[in-house]
Structure 1
Amino acid sequence: MDKHVDILIVGAGISGIGLAAHLSKHCPQRTFEIIERRESFGGTWDLFKYPGIRSDSDMSTFGFNFKPWTQDSILADGASIKNYLSEVIAEYQLKSKIHFQHRVLSANYDSQTQKWSVVIENAQGKKQTWIANFVLGCTGYYNYDQGFQPDFPNQSAFKGTFIHPQHWPENFDYSGKKVVIIGSGATAITLVPAMVKGGAAHVTMLQRSPTYIASIPSVDFIYNNMRKVLPEELAYKLTRARNIGMQRGVYALAQKQPKLLRKFLLKSIEMQLKGKVDMKHFSPSYNPWDQRLCVVPDGDLFKVLREGQASVETDQIEAFTEQGIQLKSGKHLDADVIVSATGLQIQILGGVKATIDHQPLDTSKHMLYQGVMVSDVPNMAMIIGYINASWTLKVDIAADYICRLINHMDQQGYTEVIAEGDPSELMEDTVMGSLTSGYIARAANVMPKQGKHAPWRVSNNYLKDRKDLKQASFADPVLKFRKAVSESARKPKLVS
């Protein structure tokens, strides 16, 4: 039996919940439903359970613009972020709108009816067809079922426990065990001090190449002091503006004077290591922000390294052995537990097979209009957060734009909108930008592509995007609007 919905949001993570809150505020005339394939909300913050899981962006910008983050922590653990999202769900009465354990199997847009036909498998394993006017993709950009897993030589020989952080065993006891973590990104640098604190005998971070890491305070004392004398909302806005400015400032410095920023970052690390660890392990061959800059609270990573509770090796894997990992340098790392913090498997739209009039949609051959709407795809938008700033900054401004677009269509009586793409604009680079990280490179055959010029160029610049999306005119000739086609007009006419 078909279920008719107005706006269908796919995904109840931070993007889907944020978008739903914006729709509640700005489009009260519209109804929406949220489908979530998992048993709970939160997306990333429900999936990942590894020790120390936390944000790698400050919470004044990772929180929504409409709901202040009231804790004093600059970075927040996964449970705190999920609790924050639960408060948003309660405040905007979203609970009844979320349908858990509902998996999208396929989605087809019918140009004649101007509707999406979405085939869903529900919690009972039965197929349903939901008919929607709009489909809004809020599924992030990675595969929740499987992380990226390289094929390590002789991996099956290892007799200990092998784990990918995306599938951390419940109540896993690693106390007293020797741990090797493969990787040097945000997950690895979070795991090292967390597993030391959790009782591991020793933790070794094995990296192929170093990563830029900055130490930041765990508590925002300035924000705390402002909250004592200013209204909560004002203190939050001022702190948010300050941190947005700092994010953009650091990124701009990386583009204009990379050597200066590199010198500053490495000097900071050197001071924290106090000569106890060779700086070769923290001196990348690339410039700052060619790959994502990682952060650690209160220098916790450097503390466990200089105290000898953890160590770092920069080397390549020759092969796994029964007792650990043989390195190409000839050194052997003994391990009871090996954690493969090797990143994400890129996926768009949650892996949904979408079609338009039953013709397959290959997102890698399309662009994003204003960073929000997929070119040549009717009545669809998606939210992909920033790679060089807090994900949620993009959620807020993209959601505002989507709300403005829907309200414009309602005012004009339009039922369909298409951002008509220009093939000459299509570039090889993806909307993920110019970062050289492995997961970015793996996105090429999945992610929408960059355009040469606006409105097809994704800038990954929050301040520019905020201005552009707020001022964007719907009179743009790229946007093609249509009104509802009457039933009689769709019926074939008999010719006498």
Structure 2
Amino acid sequence: MSDGNLSERTRDPSGPGGEAGRVDVLIVGAGISGIGAAYHLQTQSPGKTFRIVETQADFGGTWRTHKYPGVRSDSDLHTFGYRFKAWRGPPIATAEEILAYMGEVIDENDIARHIRYRTRVLTADWSEADCAWSVEMEDVDTGQRSRLTAGFLWMCQGYYRHSEGYTPEWPGMDDYRGRLVHPQTWPEDLDYAGKRIVVIGSGATAATLIPALAEAAGHVTMLQRSPTYFTPGRNRNELAETLRELEIDPAWTHEIVRRAMLKTGAQMTKRALEQPAEVREELLGVLRGLLGEDYVAEHFTPRYDPWRQRIAFVPNGDFFQAVKAGKAGVVTDEIDRFVPEGIRLKSGKVLEADIIITATGFNLNVLGDIAFSVEGRPVDLSQSVTYRGMMFTGLPNLAWVFGYFRASWTLRADLMGDFVTRLLHYMDEKGLRRVEPALRPEDADMKLGPWIDETEFNPGYLMRGVHLMPKAGDKPEWRHTQDYWSEKDLLPNLDLDDPIFRYR
């Protein structure tokens, strides 16, 4: 099993295909999407040459970047894990467990030799004459530049900037005498034993951090502007445990449990959209049983309907147990300003803190912040239109893995693995070298809008950066749907002869 030691993996600058050569496919990112893409490419298009480039020193993406205490998945691993490799652990897993699982995929499929770490993609220019991308890269450690030609770009770098998290600018931040930390850049030397800690934010990161910090801290306070929906439950899947006890083949167990959880999730989403009041009452009712009517009314009753943002699962209710035990607490208020001893709220109350943690979200990253151009002309991604959230007008031979907001990211990564490899096969069979989605004559008057409708899904990181994203149309072909249950049948059967696809 791979354990994350860089010495075990290639850092040969030439890499597969040679530095000055050409690969059929360049995969950008060695996180959950990139490793999955490599697997699908190897198994479904074994004749294709490819390389993976990764900015970090090792694989893992999010699970390598995030090192804060208690870091864990907020999706169940039966669906967040790949469809082709059984998950054998608990539904909610730690970063270490997820990295070990990914390491097994890499080792079992001999993927490591294709990965070039500490390599950042700077620019990508499409050449019509060559029907290929000329990609300029930089060695993160030395600054040395290099180029690679790729017939197809498979963008798997995720959706947020790994180098920095989002922290709002509050008045008086320079006056604060304690330590200010963002979870995405957690300092290794941070000693929080016995300290008073304020965690700003109310999402899954805050709910993960707080019980982990509360074990050693003096006290932890979650400061939120408005509440979030949470759902506590046992970190155990009874169906999976039963099938394991019966010694059912792990691959069968994985598929059965995966389908059961997907069906349950789809039903929950449908109910949340059609019967928001009933679902809201169910979610709040569970918390009232743990914390009491008044506490839930003040601190855990969101202003929005369920599933407008992700519903954070709290395994074994550890966050609520910390609150119930008095090791943690919640304050619902707004920040007036930072003061030397902590934070002064708009209510006038001062929260004293030795450490303030800003669990305030991500900075959206659109296609890796890479400067794209076609024939030397810069491409403004915000003026392109998305084809089903996978491809974009104006960008030939490129696909971007962008997962689901309401379901596990990897579900869509697997579906896109099938789509991209099928598209590449189709082009080979027809002797085609270039493909790009394009608006049809019947789309000329189509209404365009933001990538995602904020009435459907509106987390802060997306609303802050949605103006940078490609546009969406009011027809299903030109939208990124959030319905895995329909896409699992739709995407594998897309008509590659559709006039939307412009080939050459």
Whether TM-score is above 0.5 comes out as: yes
Superposition map of 1:132-281 within 5 A: 132-197=150-215, 199-229=216-246, 230-274=248-292, 277-281=295-299
Please, which runs of 5 or more residues in structure 2 have no aligned partner? 1-18
Of residues 107, 121, 124, the one that matches 2:142 is: 124
Contact 2:284 2:296 in 1 (8 A): no
Matched, 1:351 2:373: no
Paired residues, number? 480
Q: Deviations along 1:101-142, whole A, 9 cap, x unmatched?
A: 111110000112111000011253211111110111111111
The structural deviation recorded for 1:439 is 1.1
Q: CA, structure 1 residues 240+146, in 2 after alignment: closer, same or farther (shift >3 Å)?
A: same
Structure 2 counterparts to residues 445-460 of structure 1, below 5 A: 445-460=467-482
Name the structure 1 match of 2:449.
428
1:443 to partner: Cα distance = 2.4
- Distance across 1 between alignment mates of 2:326 and 2:238: 30
- What is the CA-CA distance between 1:83 and the residue it aligns to? 1.0
Alpha-carbon distance in 2 for matches of 1:369, 1:399: 16
Q: Which amino acid aligns with 1:291?
A: Q
Name the SS of the counterpart of 1:445 in structure 2: helix
Displacement of 1:417 in angstroms is 0.8
The Cα of 1:432 is off from its aligned counterpart by 7.5
How far apart in 1 are the matches of 2:285 and 2:189? 39
1:2 is paired with a residue of what secondary structure? coil
In the alignment, what sits opposite 1:487?
none
Provide TM-score, normalisation by structure 2.
0.93
Contact 2:379–2:394, Cα closer than 8 Å, also in 1 = no
**Cα deviations by residue, 1:409-441 (Å, 9 ceiling, x for unpaired):** 111111111111355435222148721221121
Aligned CA distance change for structure 1 residues 432 and 99 (closer, same or farther; 3 Å)? farther
Residue matched to 2:13: none
Q: 2:448 corresponds to which letter in structure 1?
A: M
Are residue 463 (structure 1) and residue 485 (structure 2) matched? yes
Post-superposition shift, 1:225? 1.4
Q: 2:500 maps to which residue?
A: 478
User: How many angstroms does 1:376 deviate by?
Assistant: 2.8
The answer as to 2:405 corresponding to 1:384 is no
Deviations 1:31-50 (A, max 9, x none): 11000011111100000001
Match of 1:43 among 44, 53, 61: 61
Find the counterpart in structure 2 of residue 106 from structure 1: 123
Q: What letter corresponds to residue 105 of structure 1 in structure 2?
A: L
Aligned partner letter, 1:447: M
Counterpart CA distance in 1 for 2:107 and 2:446 is: 43
Secondary structure of 2:267's counterpart equals helix
Q: Give the direction of change, closer, same or farther, for the CA distance of 1:145–1:164 in structure 2 (3 Å limit).
A: same
Q: Answer yes or no: is the 8 Å Cα contact 2:73–2:93 preserved in 1.
A: yes
When residues 172 and 88 of structure 1 are mapped into structure 2, their CA distance, relative to the original with a 3 A threshold, is same
What is the Cα deviation at residue 350 of structure 1?
1.1
Tell me by how many angstroms 1:454 deviates: 2.5
Identify the residue that residue 94 of structure 2 maps to in structure 1.
77
For 2:221, what is the secondary structure of its paired residue?
Answer: strand
Is 2:464 the partner of 1:442?
yes
1:492 maps to what in 2? none
Give the AA of the match of 1:352.
I
Counterpart in the other structure of 2:348: 330
* Equivalent residues of 2:284, 2:301 under 8 A apart: yes
User: Structure 1 residue aligned with 2:32, among 1, 8, 14?
Assistant: 14
Shift of 1:374: 1.5
What one-letter code is carried by the residue in structure 1 that aligns with 2:499?
Answer: P
- Contact 2:135 2:147 (8 Å CA) reproduced: yes
* Structure 1 contact 276–306 (Cα < 8 Å) conserved: no
* 2:477 match: secondary structure: coil
Partner Cα distance (1:372, 1:48) in 2:
26
Unaligned runs of at least 5 residues, structure 1? 483-496
Residue aligning to 2:311: 293
* TM-superposed deviation, 1:228: 2.5
- Which residue number in structure 2 is paired with residue 414 of structure 1? 432
* Corresponding residue to 1:88 among 105, 122, 136: 105
In 2: Cα distance, 1:476 partner to 1:69 partner: 37
Counterpart Cα distance in 2 of 1:358 and 1:97: 29
Aligned residue in 1 for 2:419:
401
Shift of 1:370: 3.0
Q: Which amino acid aligns with 1:448?
A: P
